[in-house]
A and B are shown apart, each in its own frame.
Chain A
Amino acid sequence: MMKPPLNEILPAAKSTVSTVYDHSNDPWFKERFSVVESEKSVVLKGKVVPRYLQREGFVPRKVDDFGDGGAFPEIHIAQYPLDMGRNRSAKPGSKILPVTVDAHGNVAYDAIVRQDENSKKIVYSQHKDIVPKILKNVEEEDDMDEDEELQKEIEQTTQETKAALEKIVNVRLSAAQPKNVPQHNSESKYIKYKPSQQSAAFNSGANERIIRMVEMPVDPLEPPKFKHKRVPRASGSPPVPVMHSPPRPVTVKDQQDWKIPPCISNWKNPKGYTIPLDKRLAADGRGLQDVQINDNFAKLSEALYVAEQKAREAVAMRSKVQKEMMMKEKERKEQELRALAQKARAERTGTVVAPPPSSMATPMDDMDTRGDYDTVRERQKDAPPKESREEREERLKRDKIREERKRERERERRLEAKDAAMGKKSKITRDRDRDISEKIALGGANVGNGKGGGEVMYDQRLFNQEKGMDSGFATDDQYNVYDKGLFTAQPTLSTLYKPKKDVDGEMYGGADEQMDKIMKTERFKPDKAFTGTSERAGPRDRPVEFDREVEEADPFGLDQFLTEVKKGKKAMDKVGGGGTMRASGGSSTRDGYDGGSGRSRIGFEKGK
């Protein structure tokens, strides 16, 4: 048996330390003197590079493929002679997937989806995976066998899963249980040592010291010292190919089906949008349902219409008949009257005239009767021959006037009828439908029945107004804003409080009592005056009195002169009445005219 050499048995030396410096290991030395050796090795193991023009199919990948030289320009592939330019940091294998082929030599393009995590999963990636397959009937023999197998598998799966889950659950449980709060080690350690400085000055002269080491107690409820940071969720399982066709584009119908009309309320519109009326109606929903009207409505209205028509006809007929009867009656009465009159006339004249045709006469011979009457009158006219000429003339004149008046009346009536037919307003009906509210407002309503009209009415409120712009603004210190009560129409007294009778009598006393109390209160009456004023404080008992200034004598006869002027003015009035300028004499002349302006008047005096 051969013993192996010793240096094979012994482990390789970890480090060699030579006492003498070995210059042959020095990089400087190597650089210069080991060249020959490396050359030798290249020669030994170097691959034979095909010669030029014979390099078809030659792919230089490794360093020794290049021999000693550089890249081959005629080979169109990325070349890294002496590893120059090769990216060493990136591991080449990690990103490049080798081309794999299946049993038939077809390239398995789906290898890309079966990387990493997915390599352990079932990943469907091929077209045949979405092609329908038919499940065969399995109900055949071997049922027992299969059941058994299945049972076994179930059992096994259950066991494994149970174990795995138990582990997880136990860990979670124990973490949640409070019993395993880390107990701090209560054991203490004693350390005995000798201080390095041994002198009486240090350590109070002790040679040795003993230290007791105890673990610092930790508060179990102490909040964590470090903040927990949210760790972003790990990316889920890598994506798998999508095995369905791309979604179909949405058709117009689909889009329309999905269009949901905006909600429009008839009651709320918080944003205040303008909503078209048709939209509002649509929201109402009333337009959506067809209105079904019962046929009977039509029948009823038809029947009503017919009945009304008939009733109207009947009424018209009845009124016509009645009118006719009344006419006849009237006719008869007229005839009677006429007969009576004739009889009376005949009696007066003494001649017996043939009685007028009976009242039974038809209206047809009405003309005849009139003719008769006229002849009678004619006869009557002729009959009294006693009247004198003046009388006769007088009578004729009267008759003429009468005729004229009659014609005029008739004409007027005709005109009026024509106007009414044309829609014009006649003189009579003109004022009938005028709005008279303004008249009433101006107090004009009284005009007609009071004074008999004719007088022009002015709005009295517009007179004597000294408040207009032409009267000028009042001075600042004038306090005349509220010179009148706001509602003059409202009597002040009625708005004041007055105790009512027998209300709360026992509480506040009777009405009279209260009234007395109110009246006699001293509360709001000034009973103090300003000091230094001469005015008397307290209520007055008389009206304010003014002292009349003592009239001075009239040394220049001015007063007298003025009275003369007054007298003279009366005479003047007649003279200047037709003139355009009205002269008022003197400031003292008051003739009832109150000038509109508040200016002091300019007096005109008639020179003598």
Chain B
Amino acid sequence: MEYKGIKSTNDIPKQGNPRGQEPAAPSNALALPGPEGSRDQGKGVSENALVVGPTLQSRGKNEGGLPGKSTTVIPASSSSSYRNFSTSAIIERIPSRWPRPEWHAPWKNYRVISGHLGWVRSIAFDPSNTWFCTGSADRTIKIWDVASGKLKYTLTGHIEQIRGLAVSTRHTYMFSAGDDKQVKCWDLEQNKVIRSYHGHLSGVYCLALHPTIDLLLTGGRDSVCRVWDIRTKMQAYALAGHDNTVCSVFTRPTDPQVVTGSHDSTIKFWDLRYGKTMTTLTHHKKSVRALARHPTEHSFASASAENIKKFNLPRGEFLHNMLSQQKTIINAMAINEDGVMVTGGDNGSLWFWDWKSGHNFQQAQTIVQPGSLDSEAAIYAASFDLTGSRLITCEADKTIKMWKQDENATPETHPVNFKPPKDIRRF
């Protein structure tokens, strides 16, 4: 296969399909339209991965003769031959194969840092994991110590709220972007703005750094994602194609190197060589305000108000929805290496998910700091630290909250209450 991100193993079908021996197979076959099934039977031997009820026998024979590579993605409907079948027929066999969630300790808030004078809208971690910076609606960037939560420095220079922050792993630079259409490059040795990237026609909502090339990507309200050459301040591309604000972006070292989510409810993959769209994902119904890449796997999640969806990466295949619905606008999402995903909503709900199964194992609610309105409970940014053991959320009550896992919790005290999805109505 052309995408090397996908591992190939021969024995996957055996593992992944314990149903092969199930005697219930004939009943499934009833759901299949006759003519296609019969056609499959006729041609089945020459095809790969045909898992239709009536052809169980032929598949059994087929296993050894499968081509050397197969995807690790095991579609619930095993092959394209399913495409005209009813949804119920396809989904019926999912629950038994749905992965069981891992146990994760519940998270609890252990520190509240108040220091900003406005909504805290963005966060970025230092590659050394000793400090982090937050950008706020009070037009300042503040740098905090991770261990103690003490303020280390305050940077001013923006004239509107700061919506995007990133710290370079390859330089001593920090990048910030804000509603004032400005994108700034800060030298952390002098704590000064040394470059500013001019070109956005409206507020800049998100910012990302390319992992291997000196590129800066910013997306904004002008519905364009701009690619900047860091050193020369030149705009290499304006990735135009979205119909609405680009509010989330992340980058990868391999293709697709840029993924953007937008208020037009689409996700686009971009080819950085030509500045063209590679793929457009239209699975969401509402604006995609948060994107998060899994740190190790080749997959990412996208959050919109109606659903959180998981996609496979090089090709952008839809994997599945998260199993519950948060029912709020989701502004922030973060994933750590242990497979904990966290989403922060506009109503202050902070939900923790098991990445593998999409099971929501904890629903936390932030408590606004005294003096704030109840309506000021909103989480605008969230990030795990580099080890993944601490979570930091930036909120509308002008505070920064730090979360960690409960050490005393055991699977016995907090059992996983999980039922595999029986009937998936929403895609």
Contacts and interface: CB of A to CB of B under 8 A. Distances in A.
Interface string B267-292: 00000111011111111110000000
A254 interface: no
A153 B229 contact: no
Given A106-B84, A133-B318, A162-B213, A243 B281 contact: yes
B55 to A, nearest CB: 12
Given A128-B90, A135-B356, A157 B282 contact: no
Interface stretch (A34-42, A97-105, A286-294, A509-517): A97-105
A103 B7 contact: no
Contact of A130 (B279, B280, B318): B318
Nearest to B298: A138
Contact of B317 (A133, A165, A241): A133
A490 B23 CA distance: 121
Interface in A122-169: 122-124, 126-136, 138, 140, 142, 146, 149-150, 153-154, 157-158, 160-162, 164-165, 168-169
Contact of B316 (A122, A126, A169): A122
B16 A136 contact: yes
Contact of B318 (A102, A124, A138, A240): A124
Contacts of B58: none
Contacts of B84: 106, 127
B367 interface: no
A209 interface: no
Contact of A138 (B15, B276, B297): B297
Given A122-B279, A132-B424, A157-B257, A243 B318 contact: yes
Interface stretch (B68-76, B190-198, B328-336): B68-76
B87 A138 contact: no
Interface footprint category on B: 35 or more
Contacts of B99: 134
Interface in A8-29: none
Contact of A244 (B12, B36, B282): B282
B232 A169 contact: yes
Contacts of A475: none
A151 to B, nearest CB: 9
B232 A173 contact: yes
A131 B285 contact: no
A3 interface: no
Given A153-B4, A157-B257, A136 B72 contact: yes
A172 interface: yes
B174 to A, nearest CB: 22
Contacts of B285: 244-245, 247
A133 B280 contact: no
A430 interface: no
Given A136-B74, A169-B236, A244-B427, A158 B212 contact: yes
B321 interface: yes
Interface string B82-112: 1110010011001001110000000000000
Given A132-B91, A149-B4, A164-B273, A154 B43 contact: no
B115 to A, nearest CB: 33
Interface in B328-368: 356
Nearest to A149: B4
B254 A153 contact: yes
B427 A130 contact: yes
B319 A135 contact: yes
A242 interface: yes
B213 A158 contact: yes
A128 B86 CA distance: 10
Given A165-B236, A168-B237, A121 B75 contact: no
A425 to B, nearest CB: 67
A245 B76 contact: no
Contact of A237 (B255, B280, B316): B280
Contacts of A157: 212, 253-255, 257
Contacts of B151: none
B81 interface: yes
Contacts of A237: 241, 276-277, 280
Given A126-B83, A165-B236, A233-B240, 16 more contacts: A103-B43, A104-B47, A124-B317, A127-B87, A128-B77, A130-B427, A134-B73, A136-B73, A140-B9, A149-B4, A154-B254, A165-B229, A169-B229, A169-B234, A237-B276, A243-B281
Q: Report the 3 A-B pairs with minimum CB-CB distance, sorted nearest first.
A: A132-B320, A154-B253, A130-B427
11 contacts: A104-B81, A123-B280, A127-B87, A133-B312, A134-B319, A135-B72, A135-B319, A136-B72, A146-B7, A154-B254, A241-B282
